Amino acid sequence: MKIDEIIEGFEFIDDWEERIRFLIELGRDLEPLPAEAHSPANKVNGCTSQVWLETSVGDGPDPVLSFRGDSDAHLVKGLVAITIALYSGRSARTILATDAGEVFDRIRLREHLTPQRSNGLRAMVERIKREAASAARGELSTAGEA
């Protein structure tokens, strides 16, 4: 699902329990991450739940990064889905210029997350931004973390 569709979906849901169900459904719709991608290199540090993020980088002066991810927690898997929708398939420069906080505030997500989940979400975004910065410098040209 595209990030605009996700934002639109959240804007129509006022009840927090319904928002949680929508978030979990987003996680269920994620492309499955192969078992071999559940590796230490793909594990996102700073998350209470286990989160894996696989990165593919295209060639060129402003490479495009693509992400796939997974989590062992249903709600967190939904957060992974939103983060991937926001950043995957975008150029390194666009990723670096995109403020995830604005999107999470717009859909009123952060106000309902526990501090641990907020930290995990921040860790995912920081990882993506680090990889985009490395790709922009030409230091990251294959899957995996810099």
Q: Which residues are catalytic?
A: 47
- Name residue 90's amino acid: R
Point out which residues pair with 43 in neighbouring strands: 52
Query: Three-state DSSP class for 61?
Result: coil
Q: At what angle do helices 3-11 and 16-28 cross, to 10 degrees?
A: 160
Contacts 24+ apart (CB under 8 A), 56-61: 56/143, 57/131, 57/135, 57/140, 57/141, 57/142, 57/143, 59/141
- Name residue 99's amino acid: D
Residues in the chain, total: 146
